Structure 1
């Protein structure tokens, strides 16, 4: 009987360890902000090529055309998430200072949610416009969203001083599967000055430790447009990111799946 119990316990331990290992495979979570709907749909062949599921954070939903709403439904049907990015795209900290938390919630959040509900969307996650947030606004937001996404950048200029981070050491952009509800994603726009080597090191970390590397951008840009409009990411760079992720067998996640 004792030998049987020892054998049973050993098998159970192996199963638990294997289950834990399976549940913590590394991954990547991509999200795209604002209202570049007609440009986002052009990414469909690329996303399908790598079986990538991403999150589109919509701002000012009341200004979407019927065509754009239908495109978003098409993207959702493909397995992508439609998230909330606010009704006015205001920086919460400054708006609350000038007005109030109550007005912020009503004008920026509830108005957006009501509009999106009428359009057929029920967003579960929220991306802070401009990465602006406070603990007390987050406390209110988490009553209505399961996850809040903030912004991280490799380069930052603060009071005239440049700060450069090593991407693989930016703890906040790696989701550790610990039910964290406030997260950061790394900006991949052209202006962020990221290299594919930065991304490769980050993805290798995610693969090694079983975390999810979170990245985001805005408007998809081609070589002919990015010289005049840097508020977006190079589509070729996005494909490099997806290719590197595929090499490491990383799963892609929507933000809601985190």
Structure 2
């Protein structure tokens, strides 16, 4: 009985270790992150869920969002740009996110339009300026990056193939309030290029009922829905902002439907 109580206590300590804003906590083993009782690296294709991704460098906003959304046992992928210009406190927050099971992905060193930059300077120059410099800085700060979100969604298949030498998963963007059956924002088995649908308030396709409809479709058809946001705010005052109230509703609904929260890199581990 004493041994059972001891094991239970250890489990509770591990479970809640990332609920505190303490960046000095021990690193969580990413391969042992558990969602609904299943190790993510053992998940199979057909387990419905949602990937929530956040672009750019709004670290303070994301930190506030995490304090609210952690009650839903969420996971997010923060696609970070301009890491070399980031202050130490924000870098520390990214490290803390990673320890708690969120993913840090790449979004370019300077957030340039990939295709425009390559057209003007060539792929090698783009790769050196935007990918190598970003990855070096990420590694220097202990951030393990294996996914990349294209700024502005600017990509093509040729660039995809070249970037697969560095990344396991690439995320583009898709638009429009299409019928769910025609949407491109669902993970397809073994596909390394995925497409996110924006949930910032200024997108013409965005409405909470529509996103709920997409989640319902994912749940009923055993799919994984991929969404992206930028700056999380209480009150929307500009473009590229997502209302926290909407994010809470989305996470609460995902939890209610007993669906999983995935990160981008989780998708590369899913077995057919």
TM-score tier by shorter-chain length is 0.7 to 0.9
Mark the runs of 5 or more structure 2 residues left unpaired by the alignment. Answer: 1-41, 268-272
Task: Tell me if the contact between 1:83 and 1:124 (Cα under 8 Å) persists in the aligned partners.
Answer: yes
Counterpart of 1:174? 186
Counterpart of 1:132? 154
Counterpart of 1:184? 195
Aligned residue runs from structure 1 range 240-255, under 5 A: 240-255=249-264
Counterpart of 1:57? 79
56, 68, 71: which one pairs with 2:93?
71
Q: Does 1:239 align with 2:237?
A: no
Mark the runs of 5 or more structure 1 residues left unpaired by the alignment. Answer: 1-19, 155-164
After TM superposition, give the deviation of residue 240 of structure 1 in Å.
1.0
Aligned length: 225
SS at match of 1:174: coil
Task: Tell me if the contact between 1:167 and 1:199 (Cα under 8 Å) persists in the aligned partners.
Answer: no
Task: Tell me if the contact between 2:168 and 2:192 (Cα under 8 Å) persists in the aligned partners.
Answer: yes
Counterpart of 1:90? 112
Counterpart of 2:10? none
Q: How has the CA–CA distance of structure 1 residues 197 and 135 changed in structure 2, closer, same or farther, with 3 Å as cutoff?
A: same
Counterpart of 1:80? 102
After TM superposition, give the deviation of residue 21 of structure 1 in Å.
10
Q: Distance in 1 between matches of 2:44 and 2:88?
A: 42
Q: Distance in 2 between matches of 1:222 and 1:85?
A: 24
After TM superposition, give the deviation of residue 205 of structure 1 in Å.
0.9
Q: Does 1:118 align with 2:140?
A: yes
After TM superposition, give the deviation of residue 100 of structure 1 in Å.
0.3
Task: Tell me if the contact between 1:168 and 1:198 (Cα under 8 Å) persists in the aligned partners.
Answer: no
SS at match of 1:173: coil
After TM superposition, give the deviation of residue 135 of structure 1 in Å.
1.8
Q: Distance in 1 between matches of 2:105 and 2:43?
A: 29
Q: Deviations over 1:3-38 (max 9, x none)?
A: xxxxxxxxxxxxxxxxx9975221000000000011
Runs of 4+ in 1 over 6 A off after TM superposition: none
Q: Distance in 1 between matches of 2:67 and 2:59?
A: 15
Counterpart of 2:3? none
Counterpart of 2:63? 41
